[in-house]
Amino acid sequence: MNDLNTENTDRIEKYILVAVATGDEEAAWDSLDELSELLDTAGGISVMQVVQNLAHPDKSTYIGKGKAEEIRESLEIHEADGIICDDELTASQMRNLSELTGAKVIDRTTLILDIFAAHARTREGKLQVEIAQQKYRYARLRGMGEALSRLGAGIGTRGPGETKLETDRRVIQKRIKLLSDDIEVMKRARDTARKKRSANAVPTAAIVGYTNAGKSTLLNRITGADVLSEDKLFATLDPTTRAALLPDGQQVLFTDTVGFINKLPHNLVDAFRSTLEEARYADIIVHVIDASDPQAEMHRRVVYDTLIDLGITDKPVIAVWNKADLVEEGALFRDFGANASVKISAKTGEGLDEFYEALSKILRETRVSIDTVIPYKDTAVVAEIRKAGQLISEEYEEDGIHVKAYVPRALAAKRGLTDK
């Protein structure tokens, strides 16, 4: 079992959550709320939350020394296991803070990696998470000193499948090399699979969005897939691709992708790059936003920024404002950066017609209309058109099949289809 839900652990770990606010204090509290949800997903609970206003995080201790002393007392009062900081810490910040508080210190990155480790299901997903964890550890082990032994077991020390993470730098280095080689092999297999799909020329749509926005629920709703969807952050990490038929007869492949989050660890973005390539090669980006979340606007921005980081900037985007059943009727949602905005509920099915319409319209714009005669020896091409495009009419004439259709530009180019 690698499910880290509370029923599988002996004891629920308790933590004090700590953030430094360098400007907007409210944003820091909101971010701590999210950190607390992350902790809940990892099977622990938050017993206290602290925000300190500073011009910038302390270089050697993250929060100020006085604040650290106060937290040391609070840890005793709450009988807490340790503290979790809302930013990525350096090895010396971890060591010093751990000395000052006498407790286990982990950071937001470690917590996110921990959840990814518990939720990765496929072999590729597990490798991707482990490499991100090992790289994170490798960069810190030397400077952590006592802080390392204070980590003990539990949250922050678990690899995929609850393997315990290594503490020897040389062993880690070897492991990173091994994992990188394995990932490279899988990347090649994934590339081949994708090439095969694009040779079919069936248009693809990548479903992206902030974690818990409803991406998997939408995929399940439109394709009848059976992907796990639950009210947890990062419920699904492994991409699933399924076909669906739009009301206009057009076939589309939809891929569910890993969710994004504010301050997503860089090692993870790197490790998941090959998985996220699914979005890079998609014809359309379906951006799912939880419209009922007060932080929806921040989430929308984080997703755009992450897409830019990944070099995905030139695709048509549909902004899908989801969970419409939870927002006031008549509330307006717009995304001026997107080609279309629709309001839906993946749960009730409300608004899906508008979604399909927006999708069809964008797809039509990426296609060309043809009016041509295809010789009888090439009837396979007609089958291809039926599959990848939209066949409007076919008539059997003397020298071939007279076809009127919309086809993807790529297919038209490959088969030399033009108006004749």
Binding residues for ligand GTP, rule: CB under 6 A, are 209, 211-217, 229-236, 259, 322-323, 325-326, 345-347
Tokens of 304: 């755009």
Residue 404: exposed, middle, or buried by beta-carbon count in 10 A (0-12, 13-18, 19+)? middle
CB of 215 to Mg ion, least distance (A): 5
CB of 357 to ligand GTP, least distance (A): 18
Residue 250 binds what, of Mg ion, ligand GTP, none (CB under 5 to 8 Å, by partner type)?
none
Interacting residue with Mg ion among 157, 216, 306, 322 (CB under 5 A): 216
Backbone angles phi, psi at 62, to 5 degrees: 65, -70
Residues 6+ apart with CB under 8 A from 328: none
CB of 411 to ligand GTP, least distance (A): 31
The smaller minimum CB distance to ligand GTP, of residues 61 and 109, is found at: 109
Residues 6+ apart with CB under 8 A from 295: 30, 34
Radius of gyration in angstroms for the set of CA atoms belonging to the chain, rounded to a whole number:
25
Q: Tell me the CA distances in angstroms from 224 to 97, 217, 218, 219, 410, one per residue in order.
A: 49, 10, 9, 7, 28
* Contact window for Mg ion (CB under 5 A) among 163-171, 183-191, 216-224, 344-352: 216-224
The smaller minimum CB distance to Mg ion, of residues 136 and 210, is found at: 210
Considering only CA atoms, which of 110, 88, 132, 92 is closest in space to residue 13?
110
CB of 3 to Mg ion, least distance (A): 16
User: Which residue has tokens 């500073």?
Assistant: 54
Helix ranges, 201-339 (H): 215-223, 266-271, 273-280, 296-309
Which residue's beta carbon is nearest to the bound ligand GTP? 259
Q: Give the C-alpha separation, 382 to 397, whole Å.
A: 14
CB of 293 to ligand GTP, least distance (A): 10
The smaller minimum CB distance to ligand GTP, of residues 179 and 303, is found at: 303
The smaller minimum CB distance to ligand GTP, of residues 184 and 230, is found at: 230
The smaller minimum CB distance to ligand GTP, of residues 203 and 209, is found at: 209
CB of 326 to ligand GTP, least distance (A): 5
Counting residues that bind Mg ion (by CB under 5 A) gives 4
Tokens of 343: 């309001």
The answer to the question of residue 236 lying near Mg ion (CB under 5 A) is yes
Considering only CA atoms, which of 245, 260, 267 is closest in space to residue 360?
245
Residue 211 binds what, of Mg ion, ligand GTP, none (CB under 5 to 8 Å, by partner type)?
ligand GTP
* Contact window for Mg ion (CB under 5 A) among 40-48, 50-58, 232-240, 312-320: 232-240
Contact residues for Mg ion, defined by CB under 5 A? 215-216, 235-236
